[in-house]
A and B are shown apart, each in its own frame.
Chain A
Amino acid sequence: MTEPKFLTYQDVSSVIIRFVGDSGDGMQLTGTQFTDTSAVYGNDISTLPDYPSEIRAPSGTLAGVSGFQVNFSSEDILTPGDAPQVLVAMNPAALKTNLGDLELGGTLIVNTDAFTEGNLKKAGYPHNPLEDGSLAGYQIHLVPLTSLNRTALHQIEGLANKDIDRCQNFFALGITFWLFDRPLTTSLKWIQDKFGKQPKIAQANKLALQAGYDYAENASLFQTRYQIKPAHLPAGTYRKITGNEALAYGLVTVASKGNKPILYCSYPITPATDILHTLAALKHFNVRTFQAEDEIAAIGAAIGAAFGGAFAVSGTSGPGIALKSEGINLAVALELPLVVVDVQRGGPSTGLPTKPEQADLLQVMFGRHGESPVPVIAPATPSDCFNVAIEAFRLAVRAMTPVFILSDGYLANSAEPWLIPNPDDIAPIVVEHATAPNSETGFLPYLRDPETLSRPWAIPGTPGLEHRIGGLAKQPMTGNVSYHPTENEQMNHERAAKIAKLADFIPEQTLIGPPSGDVLVVSWGSTFGAVHSAITQLHATGRAISHAHLRYLNPFPRNLGAMMSGFERIIVPEMNLGQMLFILRSHCTSHRNFIPISKIQGRPFTIRELVEKLTAILEERP
């Protein structure tokens, strides 16, 4: 009998854990369960699901590896973390593709049962890494997970091995719950809610979770148990939310606050489809969803719905935006309010369907023929997608224009705590439809409001305002077809001025750090968490560096040019090859010193790489 090991408890402020396995191993679910429990426990959380675009690549292969990373903390965190400190690997392929990310000295939990000759071969291991000493730099815990789980569950009659093995992710989850001293209650409740109608499956999953937890306790698997205290977030009630959920909830709120139906028109496309799924289940909020025959039909239906007086949205990703361009231009010419959601993914072409990128910025700004100004706004965090959805409609209705939301695959799938807002505190979205002729000669559909420069929104069914609108060039005010040279020019100027004028309506740009000096970092969209965290670290070491994170990409906040002029150098980190930098350069032509930090690896920036790159740039001018 071995000596019982002495168990110690250690308080840590945050841990990054990654679960990896086959696409069919349920790693997304395992990660989500770990997140839910940690969130309910009161930790701040941030997640990064990382899955292949193939639904079930051949089992055991490198292509089929699916992962889910959770950063959970007793402090305020803004990213899913850089390198995991704990890696749970369910098979050799998962180990091989993820080991490089694990911190040296980190904790490695592996399912030894999956390290068969066949699986090792599929993963391309010439030798078994569990036996050749190659994992010496890590705290490795070898768990015959499949057989332990089978032993634990064999008492349930009438369950095939296949069903039992499906529960082994909960066994693994149980082990990690013990390691981080988490209660099982949240997951047990989830299992009951999910499998209540299949009592055996529910029992099996519960048992697997408990067995994993007990195994960690009884087998003295670990010498240290970690405790991560609840985080001190602003007071209030929280829930977990992903970017796509938050965006859908924002749209539902728009319907409620504007007292109008929302029509969400979409064609299935990764990583935007979850928005369609969420909204399709919320019809009782006056939501209509339209799964169109293609991307073009989706934008077409949105235009028709907007003409009919609904809040119309078309959601997609970059390839879909390309197909919708002509339709978006029609909305520009008709001057109808609608929102186009672009959940960006890696490109060009099919690119990286499940991975994020920020390389659609120039497409949404300039990717249409003719002069086609369209406002663009970008959420900074998953929960911010909620606010941005509402803001997009405020802009669309005010300026009678399509508006782009630039989310991305990272925001879409990543989860964080959301301080649940009180819906009563959200201002109504006021829409004033035209009800009477606006001139002595009748109704002029393009007579502009002197303040907003936008045209009236008169909807079919309103007597006396019958009018025709179209994509051909127009006469000002009447909107009648006109090829007259100066009338065409005037309408182009009016549309441009209308969008530019939104700068009077949106808030001024803020920054953190000194208001002028050597370096201003300008970022936008989903890079907020990593950039903000990096800047905070640099400030802690006494570096003088400022940071402005843009939400309004077109038009820019009215003070942005002046703000940038106060700095010697402008650094622009973005997940593309310098698209925002390109736009900023033309916005602030007096400025010559722009420095890009580019990353297009299908992964968000890590804090560490930004700190290193920013430090290097700062040190060029000591």
Chain B
Amino acid sequence: MTELTRKDFVSDQIVRWCPGCGDYAILAQVQKLLPELGIPREKIVFVSGIGCSSRFPYYMNNYGVHSIHGRAVPIATGLKMAHPDLNVWVITGDGDGLSIGGNHFIHLMRRNVDLNIILFNNRIYGLTKGQYSPTSPQGLKTKSSPMGSLEQPLNPIAIAIGAEATFVARTIDGHLKHMAQVLERAAKHKGTSFVEIYQNCVIFNDGAFKYAADAATRPDNVVELEHGKPLIFGKKRDKGVRLNGLEPEIVSLATVSEKEILVHNETAPPSLAYLFSQMHHPHLPEPIGVFRSLERPTYDAQVQAQVDTAIQLKGQGDLHKLFYDADTWQVPQV
């Protein structure tokens, strides 16, 4: 097999996202990553729902399904059950994945189907032209909330952790190096890999993640989670996060020893990852990176294992035996 390159994953369709949309950066990163995974192109499938991000499969030159609003997850689940050796990616957004598809989202996590799900979170409905979304901050004024949205935003990371996801991560469209690392780890994780990407919508919610995306302000507003390492951040890496009772707080490394700084552990009980999920700008640095990563048997493998066990115990199904497995009686030829 000849080595695959980025170009092998670029389809002949013209990309139709708005100029400046954060989706371009994600598409480019994924197309760059896939050749490095060593998976044959025909084994890779992208499944999406509806929304700006969900046009993604059309721009990829492998198998793909652009489905209906909110339903990429069940479609991908059925695909994996039928064909467990495929490498399946779900592309969704904050409306598609958390609102209309919210139910499927949590059940995917608890099942731990072996697939990757990337949620492009721009905190707005783009394709329907700018209504507030389930992740919009409270009070956001949009065409459907002229006096400000009333709802508490959903926290996708917290939901994923609550639903017992085995891989939960966050990255930022403008932070290419970090996105590459996170996507690579997600791709290599066995089980459901959930990645939230802060993604800028230039038209309807421009700058929603400016604090985290801008290289100049990012170091002071974001903390990069690394397994086994303390939560240190800041341009000069002079600040840390310490636990005060159950509350994280910012401390200066000038006055506090590094030993007191909270250390990340990806395999810890979910309470730690949940605590990180509650750290929000501007009160605390917002964590990016892998919140949680652990091994648990995958749903598709277990489905296959039950089939194998059934065959082992009962032998390959025999229709004749099945039909006769009841009280039978003969009607003689008259």
Residues of A within 8 A of B (CB): 36, 39-42, 186, 230-241, 249, 252-253, 256, 261, 263, 265, 282-288, 290, 292-294, 296-310, 312, 326-327, 329-330, 334, 420-423, 459-472, 480-481
Contacts and interface: CB of A to CB of B under 8 A. Distances in A.
Interface string B98-125: 0000011001000000000000000000
B228 interface: no
Given A241-B326, A288-B82, A301-B75, 5 more contacts: A261-B307, A263-B81, A263-B82, A285-B319, A471-B68
Nearest to B16: A481
Nearest to A302: B78
A431 to B, nearest CB: 13
Indicate the member of A265, A294, A301, A462 with the most B CB atoms within 10 Å.
Answer: A301
Given A301-B78, A469-B64, A249 B58 contact: no
B57 A235 contact: no
B323 A420 contact: yes
B303 interface: yes
A468 B77 contact: no
Contact of A304 (B62, B66, B77, B326): B77
Nearest to B86: A460
Interface string B67-90: 110010111111111110110000
A235 B333 contact: yes
Contact of B68 (A39, A234, A308, A330): A330
A466 B78 CA distance: 19
A469 B60 CA distance: 12
Interface string B307-326: 10111011111011011101
A330 B74 contact: no
A334 B107 CA distance: 25
Nearest to A241: B326
A300 B327 contact: no
B63 interface: yes
Nearest to B312: A284
Given A304-B79, A460-B43, A471 B327 contact: no
Interface of B: 11, 13, 40-43, 45, 47, 50, 57-58, 60-68, 71, 73-83, 85-86, 103-104, 107, 303, 306-307, 309-311, 313-317, 319-320, 322-324, 326-334
Contacts of B103: 293-294, 297
A287 B47 CA distance: 24
Given A288-B307, A304-B82, A468 B71 contact: no
Nearest to A470: B66
B327 A240 contact: yes
B169 to A, nearest CB: 24
Contacts of B314: 284
Given A237-B324, A330-B68, A420-B324, A481 B79 contact: no
Contact of B71 (A36, A290, A296, A459): A296
Given A293-B104, A462-B42, A236 B68 contact: no
A480 B13 contact: yes
Given A283-B307, A293-B104, A305 B81 contact: yes
Given A230-B331, A471-B67, A293 B107 contact: yes
A297 B104 contact: yes
Contacts of A308: 78-83, 86
A309 B66 contact: no
B71 A327 contact: yes
A233 B331 CA distance: 7
A314 to B, nearest CB: 10
- Top 10 nearest A-B pairs (CB, nearest first) are A300-B74, A304-B78, A470-B66, A301-B78, A285-B317, A308-B82, A304-B79, A310-B82, A283-B310, A423-B319
Contact of A256 (B50, B307, B319, B324): B319
A303 B77 CA distance: 10
Given A461-B43, A472-B66, A303 B83 contact: no
